């Protein structure tokens, strides 16, 4: 239950083993590959022995993989969007596979054929769609001219001109009056939709200059009608062609629908390519010559034997030279990643640490020290037997019947674990969906409010003391004993001393207890003021700094008050649930047992969501602000092993397939 101790591993092999070597590392998911061309720590050997060797140029290969992956995604999206629904989607069900299982499931020739057929159908579909859009546009343009009983093949003569135009409806009457004043000009309104008036005009060519001047004055827009025969016949021909294209489109839809059964295979292919892409990206971090490759990375010391065994099993005992070494102080400061190691029960809570900041390599892992407090606080804020039971049942069933992505699975297990303290505190408060069960509560949210309030402060007091102990412990590890006292143990002495002094006076525990508490408080305060004074070159500045630090006692009062939210949220959630029950109970019997049931379920679902959200947010805040602020710094670098993206499947190392221990 700490930060994993890391080893720097160096692997040397012939260049021909590069792909298999990276594949073994990717399947194990336990080695973070160092980029020896970027990292400046302990890389003198690269310049000494491989001067002139540059990173492998993977830009073109990377682009090829990205295009292949994009092509698969495009095919899947097109089939899902346009494929017929008669064939059910064969979406890949998330499952646990090894990298070698993935290789066996991927059939490149079959996938290439299917992609070719899908994109052929896509091209035909787009051609049909383009023709339909063109015909629809043409049909829309001809619609307003359908009443014209003219043959457009021979309209013009040597002496006359036929003109088709459009004008704003509000201007048509004025335009018509002007046209009527002209000789040898015939005007006919063909269609008016109250916005645009479409008209036909016939005039002698000798009058063209005058007519066009009039058209220009009224901003007439000329319409070109490029058809053969009459408008009605053209519209009928368009309708026939559209019907034919719609039929062809339906056939293409059915053909695309048949491709739905290949979606899971396409998703396997995408996962396979993503894994290959990750290995390709790792190649640019290696030293590679014509005959030799050198790989360096970080691996947990617990996985050293496993890595050695797997490389020997897959590549041969004498194929790869392996060397492990402890990280140097410089590497710890600048490069070594942080990998957390906790019990499976505690592991889901690591996500709270990741949201805040990972510990530095030499820093304490706060996860196990946060775990019991978060359990108690979360349970106290939700505190309902029914809500906890629903959480437990729902998460347990989900984990049994479904395979989640690793991040989602951790989140579900997080709430599965939190369901237990929720039930326990529900029993303590005697609250089940806002109702009381037939027994006397250990603590009543109605009659024992003061006791619950004091309990929350006690919990906060204990957590703060633990945080100060961890601060002292970390400074002792750094051999900074003065900081261990001033930042940890002295504050503990003050807090415990004040508690004993108050207890001695107010609870009648006697004068000895009072004086012991007073002595501890004074000792702690003196340590905070005097130790910086003695350690500082300027005694005055050291003394002033110590007084300023001592002024921080006021913040501890605020910290303790913050813990009272545990009571507030616990009582409010139960009260809201009880209020919902009361509202429904006021409904008439017929409504209560029909609409009332649905209403009650909806209201309790809302309260569960708000209670869980509130408990999560406020529980996290207490850890981040009141607790971590006492001892935790963070700023670690995340351990990022060579692995697959796991977009569609979980890549799990399996002992049966790979000859080792179950991961």
pLDDT at 30 over 60: yes
For residue 456, what are the contacts with CB-CB under 8 A and spacing of at least 6?
380, 563, 564, 565, 566, 567
The confidence band for 387, taking pLDDT boundaries of 50, 70 and 90, is very high
Please give the Cα distance from 172 to 199 (Å, whole number). Answer: 9
DSSP-assigned letters across all residues of 101-156: HHHHH--HHHHHHHHHHHHHHHHHHHHHHHHHHHHHHHHHHHHTTTT----TTS--
DSSP-assigned letters across all residues of 524-586: HHHHHHHHHHHHSSSHHHHHHHHHHHHTTHHHHHHHHHHTTHHHHHHHHHHHHHHHHHHHHHT
Of 138-147, 177-186, 364-373, 433-442, where does the model show the most confidence?
A: 364-373
pLDDT of residue 615: 94
Domain range annotation of the chain: 3-55+285-339, 153-224, 342-630
The confidence band for 511, taking pLDDT boundaries of 50, 70 and 90, is confident
pLDDT at 437 over 70: yes
Q: What is the overall mean pLDDT for the chain?
A: 89
CA separation (Å) from 637 to 41, 75, 256, 362, 364? 15, 38, 47, 12, 14
The confidence band for 17, taking pLDDT boundaries of 50, 70 and 90, is very high
pLDDT of residue 76: 93
Q: Which helix (H) or strand (E) holds 620?
A: helix 595-621
Helices (H), 383-489: 385-401, 406-429, 449-477, 481-484
pLDDT at 659 over 60: no
For residue range 87-133, list pLDDT tens digits in order: 676 778 888 888 888 889 999 999 999 999 999 999 999 999 999 99
Residues 371-396 as b/e (b if ≥16 CB within 10 A, e otherwise) read bebbbbbbbbbbbbbbbbbbbbeebe
Please give the Cα distance from 415 to 402 (Å, whole number). Answer: 16
Mean pLDDT of 399-412: 91
pLDDT at 481 over 80: yes
Mean pLDDT of 494-501: 88
Tell me if 3-55+285-339 shares its fold with 153-224: yes
pLDDT of residue 619: 94
Please give the backbone phi and psi of residue 338, each rounded to the nearest 5 degrees, phi first. Answer: -105, 125
For residue range 529-546, list pLDDT tens digits in order: 888 888 777 777 878 877
Fold held by 3-55+285-339: Alpha-Beta Plaits (3.30.70)
For residue range 578-619, list pLDDT tens digits in order: 898 888 888 888 888 888 889 989 999 999 999 999 999 999
For residue range 238-291, list pLDDT tens digits in order: 999 999 999 999 999 999 989 988 999 999 999 999 999 999 999 999 999 988
pLDDT of residue 654: 54
Q: Which CATH number does 153-224 carry?
A: 3.30.70.100
Which of 96, 112, 191 shows the shortest CA–CA distance to 144?
A: 191
pLDDT of residue 653: 66
């Amino acid at each position: 239950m700490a930060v994993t101790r890391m080893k720097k591993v160096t692997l040397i092999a012939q260049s021909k083993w590069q792909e298999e070597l990276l594949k073994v590392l990717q399947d194990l998911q336990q080695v973070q590959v160092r980029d020896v061309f970027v990292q400046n720590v302990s890389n003198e050997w690269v310049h000494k022995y491989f001067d002139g060797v540059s990173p492998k140029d993977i830009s073109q290969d990377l682009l090829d993989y990205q295009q292949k992956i994009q092509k698969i995604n495009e095919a899947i999206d097109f089939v899902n969007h346009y494929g017929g629904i008669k064939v059910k989607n064969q979406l890949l069900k998330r499952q646990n596979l090894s990298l070698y299982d993935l290789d066996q499931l991927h059939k490149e020739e079959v996938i290439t054929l299917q992609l070719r057929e899908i994109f052929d159908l896509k091209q035909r579909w787009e051609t049909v769609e383009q023709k339909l859009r063109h015909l629809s546009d043409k049909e829309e343009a001809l619609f307003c001219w359908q009443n014209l009983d003219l043959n457009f093949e021979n309209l013009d003569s040597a002496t006359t001109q036929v003109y088709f135009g459009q004008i704003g409806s509000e201007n048509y009457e004025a335009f018509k009056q002007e046209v009527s004043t002209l000789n040898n000009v015939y005007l006919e309104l063909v269609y008016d939709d109250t916005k645009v008036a479409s008209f036909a005009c016939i005039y002698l060519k000798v009058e063209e200059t005058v007519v066009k001047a009039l058209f220009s004055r009224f901003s007439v827009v000329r319409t070109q009608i490029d058809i053969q025969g009459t408008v009605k016949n053209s519209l009928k021909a368009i309708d026939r062609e559209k019907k034919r294209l719609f039929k062809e489109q339906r056939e293409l839809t059915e053909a695309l629908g048949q491709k739905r059964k290949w979606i899971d295979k396409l998703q396997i292919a995408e996962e396979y390519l993503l894994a290959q892409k990750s290995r390709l990206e790792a190649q640019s971090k290696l030293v590679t010559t014509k005959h030799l490759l050198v790989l360096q990375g970080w691996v947990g010391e617990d996985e050293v034997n496993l890595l050695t065994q797997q490389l020997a099993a897959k590549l041969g005992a004498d194929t790869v030279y392996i060397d492990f070494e402890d990280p140097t102080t410089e590497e710890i400061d600048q490069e070594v990643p942080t990998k957390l190691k906790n019990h499976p029960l505690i592991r889901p809570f690591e996500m709270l640490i990741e949201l805040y900041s990972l510990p530095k390599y030499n820093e304490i892992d706060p996860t196990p020290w946060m775990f019991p407090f978060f359990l108690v606080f979360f349970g106290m804020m939700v505190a309902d037997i029914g809500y906890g039971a629903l959480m437990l049942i729902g998460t347990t069933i989900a984990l049994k019947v479904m395979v989640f992505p690793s991040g989602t699975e951790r989140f579900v297990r997080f709430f599965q674990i939190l369901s237990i303290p929720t039930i326990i505190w529900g029993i303590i408060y005697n609250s089940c969906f806002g109702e009381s069960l037939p027994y006397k509560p250990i603590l009543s949210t109605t009659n024992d409010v003061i006791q619950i309030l004091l309990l929350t402060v006690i919990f906060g007091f204990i957590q703060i003391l633990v945080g100060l102990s961890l601060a002292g412990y970390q400074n002792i590890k750094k051999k900074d004993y003065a900081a261990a006292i001033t930042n940890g143990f002295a504050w503990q002495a003050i807090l415990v001393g004040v508690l004993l002094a108050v207890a001695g006076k107010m609870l009648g525990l006697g004068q000895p207890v009072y004086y012991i508490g007073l002595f501890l408080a004074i000792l702690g305060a003196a340590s905070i003021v005097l130790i910086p004074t003695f350690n500082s070159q300027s005694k005055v500045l050291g003394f002033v700094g110590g007084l300023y630090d001592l002024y921080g006692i006021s913040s501890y009062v605020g910290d303790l008050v913050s813990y009272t939210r545990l009571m507030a949220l616990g009582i409010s959630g139960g009260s809201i649930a009880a209020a919902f029950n009361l509202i429904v109970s006021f409904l008439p019997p017929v409504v209560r047992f029909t609409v009332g049931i649905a209403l009650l379920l909806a209201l309790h679902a809302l309260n569960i969501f708000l209670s869980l959200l509130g408990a999560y947010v406020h529980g996290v805040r207490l850890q981040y602000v009141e607790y971590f602020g006492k001892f935790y710094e963070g700023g670690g670098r995340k351990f990022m092993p060579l692995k697959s993206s796991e977009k569609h499947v979980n890549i799990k190392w399996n002992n049966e397939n790979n000859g080792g221990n179950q991961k």
